[in-house]
Amino acid sequence: MFNKTAFSAKHIQSVTLYLGLLFISGPGFALNIFACEPEWQALAHEIAGPDVEVYVATSAQQDPHHVQPRPSLISAVRRADVVFCTGAGLEAGWLPVLLSKGSNPRVQRAPGLFLAAEQVTLLEKPIVLDRADGDVHASGNPHVHLDPRRMLIIAQALSARLAEIDPNNATLYQNRLASFSQRWESNIETWQSQARTLKGATVIVHHRSWSYLLDWLALEQVGELEPKPGIPPTPTHLAKLINVAETQRPYAIIYTNYNGDKAANWLAERSSVCALALPFTVETTNSNAASFDINKHPLDELFNTIISKLLAERGACTHD
Amino acid sequence: MRKQIVSFSYATALAAIAIPSYALEDLNKFNPAISVIFDGLYYHDNVKGTGPELLEQHNSVLHSDVHDHDEHAHDALTSGFNVRETEIVMSGTVDPYFDAFLTAALSGDGIELEEAWFQSRNLPAGLQLKGGKFLSGFGYHNEKHTHSWDFADQNLAYLSLLGDHGLSGNGLQLTWLAPTPFFIQLGAELLQGEELEKFGAMLDNEELAEEISAEFDPNGNGEFSVEELNFDSKSGPHLSVAFARFGPDLGTDHALQFGASVAHHNDTQSFHEESSGEAFAAQGHANLYGIQAVFKRFPPSDYGKGGYSLQGEYLRFDADERATFHTDSTEIGLPISFKQDAAYVQGSYGFAPRWQLALRTAAAGIGGTLREGNEQTETGISRQHSIALSWYATEFSRLRLQFSRNDINFGTHDIDTSQDGNFNQVFLQYNLSLGAHGAHTF
């Protein structure tokens, strides 16, 4: 009797172990990644490959500050092996709910929780923290993805993190990082040389979401359409910017679709400065990973578009 | 400012004994996230400020409100300026195993614990355990905190069957989230269920005995003891709740959620005064059923413009009790049964950046019947229609103007007969959140 029990226990143990291995590191195993924003979905595919399932929580048409923790996101977090988000308070209104309701201990902390903003130095870290200054982020500006140099550092950290979580595929992540890095470094050189004529130019932005792009290309921001971060443009504030536009002669007024074009156009019509809509992130039409074509390298496409739109702006904007 | 001064003096003291001053700063990072919710309003109605009271007196088979007046008097709005409960909210991670959350409401009457619970962090297989005092997962609106409502007041449907504060209590909740590509959540709760206002109300027996001796004096000597109520007191927990929620994945722009809930209370007590002058106390058990649907379209662009939502819930209440005391002693033991439904539908639309318009219609007393032996009395329907205009200055503050038109059926309630039940209410509300960035649930 005793022997039999001991045998069954051992038997069950080995079966459990076998099943465990099958689920955790079996040959068919692929990581399930939850990306808060489309740029991280694209980067995750670059590093983990096109076959990995990457669920993206938001689209390029949404302001990542304001997203509701909808039920399907809670389910997606539940299934995820890795949650890949920006951090630095960008998702403060929704990611904590997802992590808390997602009932998934794997992703509540590192290594399962990977935050891009924690991998790089941040700009605009406020010295004085005061909500009277609008929606300021205590640890600095979170919109890091528009600096391709920082993107490379994040890619390196991601590859290392994925290898830590899924050691069986470590070589894959290293190899994919190597090819991404090689391509990306040459991209950076190309983009920098294309954009060298922009150096030192000034711009007005809708929201301070472009700081890393401007820092990289050595453009200077001389005004924001938002009177305070997160507060929509007011007539009084825009009227003040007319003066800035006339005296500083900025290169463009930069906004993205989800800001709405009203404020930028209003100012453009009353000054000699052009309103320029730039893509803020890569396009995803839905959250289905299958529709995402990594072979088109959407991140490369994003920077190609931004640079070419910025360059085309020079002299292209004439007012009646 | 004060905090800075304190930190500075500590730092000086610490420096004196050669402990690096950063140690103190690091400790601060372990503090829970704290926020304070300020809520106040200017209230006016065309019934001399009695609107909230009239709403409470709507015709209902749940008559426990007769005895709740004193307890909840501090919540009642008065004509003019009102500062409502100021909430202190604290939350954080206790250790690798638990998160904890606290809401305490400050008012002129002192401090009241609204919620104080822990939640497990690392149970396997999508399980999560919550314990302490918390808002029940019953229904959809029930778990919403007052500051995230689209309206200044509780909807009439909830008011009639769950009370102003909804269903909450001390106990445990276990939820399971399915590992499916769409949202499926199942939950079960076991709650003490001793502080409920409407469904599952338990009466203050001493107070009831006093009232019976004062008003009915069944013994003819002005004395009526608690024992004579014949309530067979059961030990807690009294309330069990189960709920299921389902939500398909509609992509980044839309969300849909359905849900069904059931709650069972094993020791409800009620007291009824009848127009004939008779009165009885009864004890038994009660059930509450709820179904809900919520659809949201998220604002595609700037500052909430273009987003909309639609939500509705239907609630059904039934109870089976037995008269344990009756002014006509031959009727003791008589079976008493109740049933009554309530429903509301509300929608909101972000018509401009930071501006939201919301409409709500609610009904209480639907199909209400009270069966006492062979006798049956029916309740009439009360209705409420509301419109609210909200300005969300930032995520941390909002101002709201709300108008409600009420059509309240009083039945045989003993109230001022000059009131036909039609009255209007106006609310001008502010709601501010100071401190940590609160994340809102769906």
Q: Quick check: B387 and B359 in contact, CB under 8 A?
A: yes
**A288-292, B116-120, B128-132: which range is least confident on average?**
A288-292
Calpha distance B262→B240 (Å, rounded): 8
pLDDT digits (tens, 9 = 90+) for B279-296: 888 999 999 999 999 999
Q: Let me know whether A172 and A216 are in one domain.
A: no
pLDDT digits (tens, 9 = 90+) for B46-74: 998 989 988 888 888 886 444 444 444 44
Q: Let me know whether A179 and A234 are in one domain.
A: no
Whole-number pLDDT of residue B416: 54
CA distance B2 to chain A (A): 15
* B250: chain A residues, CB-CB within 8 Å: 72
In a domain, A117, yes or no: yes
In a domain, A295, yes or no: yes
Q: Let me know whether A305 and A225 are in one domain.
A: yes
Give the pLDDT band of residue A254 (cuts 50, 70, 90): very high
Nearest CA in chain A to B255: A70
* A93: chain B residues, CB-CB within 8 Å: 395, 437, 439-440
End of a domain among A144, A169, A192? A192
* A112: chain B residues, CB-CB within 8 Å: none
pLDDT digits (tens, 9 = 90+) for B295-330: 999 987 668 889 999 999 999 999 999 999 888 888
* A94: chain B residues, CB-CB within 8 Å: 439-440
Q: Let me know whether A172 and A212 are in one domain.
A: no
Mean pLDDT, chain B, whole residue set: 86
Whole-number pLDDT of residue B85: 87
Whole-number pLDDT of residue B377: 86
A258 vs B354: CB contact, 8 Å cut-off? no
In a domain, A207, yes or no: yes
In a domain, A20, yes or no: no
Q: Let me know whether A156 and A205 are in one domain.
A: no
B144, pLDDT greater than 60: yes
Q: B86-95 and B98-107 as β-strands: parallel, antiparallel, unpaired?
A: antiparallel
A279 touching B (Cβ < 8 Å): no
A289, pLDDT greater than 60: no
Nearest CA in chain B to A67: B298
Over residues A289-298, the mean pLDDT reads 68
Give the pLDDT band of residue B265 (cuts 50, 70, 90): very high
Which of A63, A69, A134 shows the shortest C-beta gap to B441?
A: A69
Over residues B395-401, the mean pLDDT reads 93
**A15-19, B24-28, B380-384: which range is least confident on average?**
A15-19
A111 touching B (Cβ < 8 Å): no
CA distance B121 to chain A (A): 6
Give the pLDDT band of residue B435 (cuts 50, 70, 90): confident
In a domain, A73, yes or no: yes
Nearest CA in chain B to A61: B300
Calpha distance A156→A119 (Å, rounded): 9
End of a domain among A192, A221, A251? A192
* A34: chain B residues, CB-CB within 8 Å: none
Q: Let me know whether A138 and A275 are in one domain.
A: no
A232 vs B119: CB contact, 8 Å cut-off? no
Mean pLDDT, chain A, whole residue set: 86
Q: Quick check: B37 and B147 in contact, CB under 8 A?
A: yes
Whole-number pLDDT of residue B25: 54
CA distance A10 to chain B (A): 23
* Burial class (CB within 10 angstroms; exposed 0-12, middle 13-18, buried 19+) of B235: exposed
Which of A57, A232, A287 shows the shortest C-beta gap to B303?
A: A232
Q: Quick check: A222 and A248 in contact, CB under 8 A?
A: yes
Q: Write down all domains in chain B, each with its CATH number in brackets.
A: 1-31 (no CATH), 34-435 (2.40.160.10)
Instruction: Give the whole-number percent of chain B exceeding pLDDT 90.
Output: 55
B359, pLDDT greater than 50: yes
B interface test, pick of A68, A94, A108, A288 with most B CB neighbours within 10 Å: A68
Q: Let me know whether A146 and A178 are in one domain.
A: yes
* CA A59 from centroid of its chain's CA atoms: 11
Over residues B89-108, the mean pLDDT reads 92
* A89: chain B residues, CB-CB within 8 Å: 437
Selection from B413, B1, B15 nearest residue A128 by Cα: B1
B204, pLDDT greater than 90: no
* A57: chain B residues, CB-CB within 8 Å: 252
* B253: chain A residues, CB-CB within 8 Å: 59, 61-62
B interface test, pick of A37, A56, A75 with most B CB neighbours within 10 Å: A75
In a domain, A52, yes or no: yes
CA distance A65 to chain B (A): 10
Calpha distance B32→B34 (Å, rounded): 6
Calpha distance A24→B123 (Å, rounded): 18
In angstroms, the Cα distances linking B15 to A122, B2, B11 are 30, 20, 6
Whole-number pLDDT of residue A138: 83
Over residues A77-85, the mean pLDDT reads 96
Q: Let me know whether A136 and A233 are in one domain.
A: no
Q: DSSP letters of A200-269? A: T-EEEESSTT-HHHHHHHT-EEEEESSSSTTSPP-HHHHHHHHHHHHHH--SEEEE-GGG-SHHHHHHHH
B42, pLDDT greater than 90: yes
Q: Let me know whether A157 and A269 are in one domain.
A: no
B37, pLDDT greater than 50: yes
Which of A62, A71, A135 shows the shortest C-beta gap to B394?
A: A135
Over residues A159-164, the mean pLDDT reads 96
Nearest CA in chain A to B355: A232
- Rg of the Cα atoms in chain B: 24
Whole-number pLDDT of residue B302: 67
What backbone phi and psi angles, to 5 degrees, belong to A218? 60, 40
Domain count, chain A: 2
Which of B177, B250, B354 shows the shortest C-beta gap to A78?
A: B177
Calpha distance A266→A245 (Å, rounded): 12
In a domain, A10, yes or no: no
Over residues B382-402, the mean pLDDT reads 94
B183, pLDDT greater than 50: yes
B305 vs A260: CB contact, 8 Å cut-off? yes
The Cβ of residue B339 has, within 10 Å, a number of other Cβ atoms equal to 18
B255 vs A105: CB contact, 8 Å cut-off? no
Give the pLDDT band of residue A28 (cuts 50, 70, 90): very low
Q: DSSP letters of A18-40? A: HHHHHHHH-TT---EEEESSHHH
The length of chain B is 442
In a domain, A70, yes or no: yes
The answer to whether the complex's ipTM is over 0.90 is no
Calpha distance B243→A271 (Å, rounded): 59
Q: Let me know whether A182 and A48 are in one domain.
A: yes
A315, pLDDT greater than 80: no
Selection from B436, B185, B203, B231 nearest residue B332 by Cα: B231
* A61: chain B residues, CB-CB within 8 Å: 252-253, 300-301
A interface test, pick of B117, B129, B174, B249 with most A CB neighbours within 10 Å: B249
The Cβ of residue B316 has, within 10 Å, a number of other Cβ atoms equal to 18
**How many beta-carbon pairs under 8 angstroms link A with B?**
131
Interface of A with B in 25-64 (CB under 8 A): 56-59, 61-63
Whole-number pLDDT of residue A171: 95
Print burial letters for B178-199: b (CB count within 10 Å at least 16), e (below 16). beeeebbbbbebbbebebbbbb
* B299: chain A residues, CB-CB within 8 Å: 66
**A291-300, B127-136, B352-361: which range is least confident on average?**
A291-300
Q: Let me know whether A153 and A277 are in one domain.
A: no
Which of A62, A78, A260 shows the shortest C-beta gap to B252?
A: A62
Selection from A188, A169, A51, A163 nearest residue A111 by Cα: A163
Which of A75, A230, A257 shows the shortest C-beta gap to B182?
A: A75
Whole-number pLDDT of residue B209: 84
Nearest CA in chain B to A89: B437
Whole-number pLDDT of residue A318: 46
Whole-number pLDDT of residue B5: 44
A199-203, B29-33, B73-77, B376-380: which is most confident: A199-203
A106 touching B (Cβ < 8 Å): no
CA distance B181 to chain A (A): 6
A interface test, pick of B119, B176, B177 with most A CB neighbours within 10 Å: B177
A103 vs B305: CB contact, 8 Å cut-off? no
Give the pLDDT band of residue A317 (cuts 50, 70, 90): low
- According to DSSP, the residues that pair with B230 across neighbouring strands are none
Could you list the residue range(s) of the whole structural domain that residue A72 is in? 31-192
Which CATH number does the domain housing residue A179 bear?
3.40.50.1980
Whole-number pLDDT of residue B365: 92
* B305: chain A residues, CB-CB within 8 Å: 260
End of a domain among A162, A192, A222? A192
Q: Let me know whether A251 and A266 are in one domain.
A: yes
Over residues B366-374, the mean pLDDT reads 89
What backbone phi and psi angles, to 5 degrees, belong to B156? -60, -30
A130, pLDDT greater than 90: no
